[in-house]
Structure 1
Amino acid sequence: MVTVLHAEMFSEAEAARLLDLPQSTLHYWLEGGTRRGVKYAPILRSEPQGGRAVTWAEFVEAGLLRQYRRRDRVPMKELRAFIDKLRTELGVPYPLADRRPYAVNKELVHQAQISAGLAPEWHMVAEVSGQLLLTGPSEQFFDRVDWEGDLAAGWRPTADEKSTVRIRPDTRFGRPAVKGISTATIWEQADSGEDVEYLAKLFHLTVPDVRWALAYEESRRASSSNRAA
């Protein structure tokens, strides 16, 4: 069944920018590639597609991998085997964009990690005092997603849990927004000299909403400048 998870939302370059990842890293996760003479299949796709469009589910799943990212230490083979196991057992094409592995199927995740030979630093769940708990990176990712049933319906692009900035496939074509208002639009108005209180009234937002939007845009633009340098 085709759902919003399958919707092509971003170009690869735009998705990488929103995720604050090098585009080459995201492309490698989506399309695979050859490194040191070894050819690797994609992690997030069943097979390479040759395109540069990124679906909503691929964007969300890349958000999880971003929590674990280690330069030159991405275990392509093991992660691919792990995700394939979850795909098969859950019967869904995008298991990392599904709520169940984080909430009610931790035992399945635990077994899939072991079966795939995934190193502990990449585990999504860990056994603690006889209980299976989400590891730090997977818990942080889970908390950044807005879940509607088992569906990933939104993603908070900032680490601060108080932020009201969201990326949603049904709002502003997937661009960052606060309560439906583009953060870029708010930032442009502020950059032209409008104060926070005026912007809150103009867009029918609270002052904290405006501040979150501006903080996000300033951080994103600073990150883009640093990468360009």
Structure 2
Amino acid sequence: MAGSSEEVRFSVPLYTQAEAAGYLDMAPSTLRRWARGYHNKFLNRPDVFGEPLITYLGSPHSPHPSIPFIGLAEGMFLSALRRANVPLQKIRPALELVRQQLGVQHALASRRLYVAGAQLLYEIGDDLGGDDKRETRKLIVLKDGQYVFREVIDRYLTRIEYDDSGNEYARKIDLPGYEVADITVLPGVNFGQPFFIKTGTPLYVVQRDLRAGESVQDVADDYALPVDQVDEVQERIEREAA
């Protein structure tokens, strides 16, 4: 199976930390903490440790690609938590318990999280104390008699397409943060780099031309892309530069 698109998902670093952060619409410093963990020291209270939450295949401080496709998928769920304004440190205990109960190595990138994660978070919450329980319950709502993820989280998870069998891991991601542009990621296409669904044009090509000063209309014409999709990419570039 070595060299197959199946293996690429887990074992081949495709993205630098900065690239993965950009695709997930977050600050690079946030993604680094998720990928490499952290150790915060304080003068008057115990140190705080955080274990890595997404798959990381690189060396510390390396500028080379270090995040595989499965790590990008794991980051999608964590990015959704940020959008829900829930402090990750407060729900780490619950996430660890959910990962254990789901019983798969990459639980945050598995359909099992989408299907059963909300109910598990509710049940696990009873075993947590104080702030941890309160913050964990903010992730879920009761709907038609069962617990589901809040809409802001569900919107992210529905952008992931999963395998139909086995551990049901992510196999395709539609990038978050875009309302108009249809940009997807497949590990076996374009070396795992995001591309426009309409034409197959790599996202980085459009970004490169826009950053070089070409107009939205010219870039859209060059690659036969809808103007509104290219315009949204330009808006995101400007937002990230602000």
TM > 0.5 between the two? Answer: yes
**Which residue number corresponds to residue 183 of structure 1?**
203
Residues 174 and 183, structure 2, Cα contact 8 Å, conserved in 1: yes
Question: Structure 2: 5+ residue runs without aligned partners?
Answer: none
Gaps of 5+ in 1: 201-206
Matching of residues 105-184 of structure 1 within 5 Å = 106-116=118-128, 117-120=132-135, 123-128=138-143, 130-149=145-164, 150-160=168-178, 163-179=181-197, 180-184=200-204
Query: Per the alignment, in what secondary structure is the counterpart of residue 92 of structure 2?
Result: helix
Closer/same/farther in 2, CA of residues 123 and 14 from structure 1, 3 Å limit = same
Question: 1:165-192: CA deviations, max 9, x gaps?
Answer: 1123222223220133212324539927
Contact 1:167 1:174 (8 Å CA) reproduced: yes
Match of 1:58 among 71, 75, 78: 71
TM-score, normalization by structure 1: 0.75
Deviations along 1:11-69, one digit per CA (max 9) or x if unpaired, are 11221222232221111122222335223122505999853512222222222222222
Residue 41 (structure 1) aligns with: 50
Give the strand-richer structure, 1 or 2.
1
Alignment root-mean-square deviation, CA:
3.5
2:16 counterpart (11, 20, 31): 11
- Cα distance change, pair 165–29 in 1 and its aligned pair in 2 (3 A): same
Please, what TM-score do these two structures have when normalized by structure 2?
A: 0.71
- The equivalent residue for 1:204 is none
State which drifts further: 135-144 or 32-41. 32-41
**Cα 1:73–1:139, aligned 2, differ >3 Å: closer, same or farther?**
closer
Cα deviation 1:136-163 (Å, max 9, x = unaligned): 2221111221233222122222445554
Contact 1:155 1:168 in 2 (8 A): yes
How many Å separate the matches in 2 of 1:47 and 1:199? 34
Q: Distance in 2 between matches of 1:197 and 1:27?
A: 37
Q: Deviations over 1:84-121 (max 9, x none)?
A: 22222222122111112212454334323443534346
Aligned length: 216
Deviation at 1:134, TM superposition (A): 1.9
Please show how residues 92-111 of structure 1 align to structure 2 within 5 Å: 92-104=104-116, 106-111=118-123
Judged with a 3 Å threshold, the aligned counterparts in structure 2 of structure 1 residues 215 and 167 are, in CA distance, closer, same or farther, namely farther
- The answer on whether the counterparts of 2:181 and 2:196 sit within 8 Å (CA) in structure 1 is no
Please tell me whether the aligned partners of residues 67 and 141 of structure 1 are also in contact (alpha carbons under 8 angstroms). Answer: yes
Change (3 A) 1:123 1:31: farther
Q: Quick check: 2:172–2:187 contact (8 Å CA) kept in 1?
A: yes
Q: Is the 8 A contact 1:144 1:159 kept in 2?
A: no
Give the AA of the match of 2:238: A
